[in-house]
């Protein structure tokens, strides 16, 4: 590229400073040069995030006094950023040196695309797909499926295409779109916030794309762990929030009936039978949170 618009690369760190440093090491070698790198530390308490700024003095380092979650942490980075495009990367990703040019070129040439994600492959198995697009959300279960998930990479996953949702581990958004639709909704704390943001961007008339002209590698679930009570609580809570924010009328009523009388009892009972008491409790607490919180659901922070 002869003309490189400024790209702000934003990542959020929480108790994973060495992992974040791995990402920054890979970013040091990228061929796209007109960048600013913003690292937001979400009040890490179990390691020393100061090593990030010490090893990478060229970055913009923001320390939050509280843990703001995925959306709040990234929003801090957005507010500090100056780029024409914002590239969001999970701190547990690494990138090839030429990953950014194709994404920026595509976004410049297609101004009606409001948000996009590259191909995402597993770090520990780089020939295996994690993300090659998403299916539409089931309006009752609030679940969708990752296209190509856990399958060998192949030519069928190399087609640029519209997709229902991006992947929060790697997504590029023009600043003008954020100025129009607002920041990432912070009510979620973790999970589903990028799906909700996509819905906001769609309602503004933009398209969502999967761009296999680039890829990144992802160390999935380094920060939250697999099948933990923490992860279960926030996924379950966010699933209900998503339905309440994005569906109306009979669809919303049907979803809440499904969540209350089918999904919640089933998940609680299955985990009680397996003696997974913490997981069962996480499902119950996620539902109670939604019963007790309403006004915050409609808040959308602005840039």
Residue spans per domain, the chain: 7-218, 229-298
Q: Which pTM value belongs to this model? A: 0.93
Strands 161-162 and 125-131: unpaired
**Coil vs helix vs strand at 126:** strand
Rg for the chain (alpha carbons), in Å? 19
Cβ contact 30:97 at 8 Å: yes
Phi, psi at residue 189, to the nearest 5°?
70, -55
- pLDDT at position 142 is 92
Cβ contact 119:171 at 8 Å: no
* Contacts with 244 (C-beta within 8 Å, 6 or more apart), sequence order: 252, 256, 290, 297
**Coil vs helix vs strand at 258:** helix
Cβ contact 117:166 at 8 Å: yes
The closest of 144, 49, 154, 54 to 91, measured between CA atoms, is 49
Cβ contact 254:140 at 8 Å: yes
Q: Which residues of the chain have pLDDT under 50?
A: 222-223
- pLDDT at position 61 is 98
**Coil vs helix vs strand at 72:** helix
Distance separating alpha carbons of residues 85 and 188, to the nearest angstrom: 24
* Contacts with 110 (C-beta within 8 Å, 6 or more apart), sequence order: 207, 209
Sign of the dihedral through C-alpha 188, 190, 191, 197:
positive
Q: Give the H or E element holding residue 245.
A: helix 229-246
Distance separating alpha carbons of residues 151 and 205, to the nearest angstrom: 32
**Coil vs helix vs strand at 214:** strand
Distance separating alpha carbons of residues 245 and 296, to the nearest angstrom: 11
To the nearest 10°, report the CA torsion of 285, 286, 292, 297.
160
The CATH number of 7-218 is 3.90.550.10
């Amino acid at each position: 590229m002869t003309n490189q618009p400024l790209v702000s690369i934003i990542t959020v760190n929480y108790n994973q400073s060495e992992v974040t440093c791995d990402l920054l090491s890979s970013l040091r070698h990228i061929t796209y040069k007109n960048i600013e790198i913003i690292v937001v530390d979400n009040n890490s308490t179990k390691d020393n995030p100061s090593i990030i700024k010490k090893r990478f003095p060229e970055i913009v380092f923001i320390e939050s006094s509280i843990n703001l979650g995925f959306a709040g942490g990234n929003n801090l980075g957005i507010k500090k950023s100056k780029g024409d495009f914002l590239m969001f990367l999970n701190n547990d990703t690494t990138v090839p040196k030429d990953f950014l040019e194709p994404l920026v070129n595509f976004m410049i040439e297609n101004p009606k695309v409001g948000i996009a994600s590259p191909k995402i492959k597993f770090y520990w198995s780089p020939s295996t797909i994690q993300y090659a697009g998403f299916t539409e959300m089931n309006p009752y279960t609030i679940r969708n499926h990752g296209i190509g998930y856990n399958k060998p990479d192949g030519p069928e996953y190399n087609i640029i295409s519209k997709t229902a949702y991006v992947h929060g581990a790697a997504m590029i958004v023009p600043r003008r779109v954020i100025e129009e639709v607002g920041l990432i909704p912070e009510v979620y704390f973790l999970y589903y916030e990028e799906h909700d943001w996509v819905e906001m961007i769609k309602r503004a008339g933009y398209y969502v794309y999967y761009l296999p002209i680039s890829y990144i590698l992802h160390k999935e679930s380094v920060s939250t762990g697999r099948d933990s009570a923490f992860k279960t609580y926030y996924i379950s809570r966010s699933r209900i929030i998503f339905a309440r924010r994005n569906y109306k009328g009979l669809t919303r009523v049907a979803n809440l009936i499904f969540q209350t009388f089918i999904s919640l009892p089933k998940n609680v009972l299955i985990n009680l039978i397996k003696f997974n008491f913490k997981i069962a409790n996480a499902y119950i607490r996620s539902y109670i949170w939604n019963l007790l919180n309403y006004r915050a659901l409609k808040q959308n922070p602005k840039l």
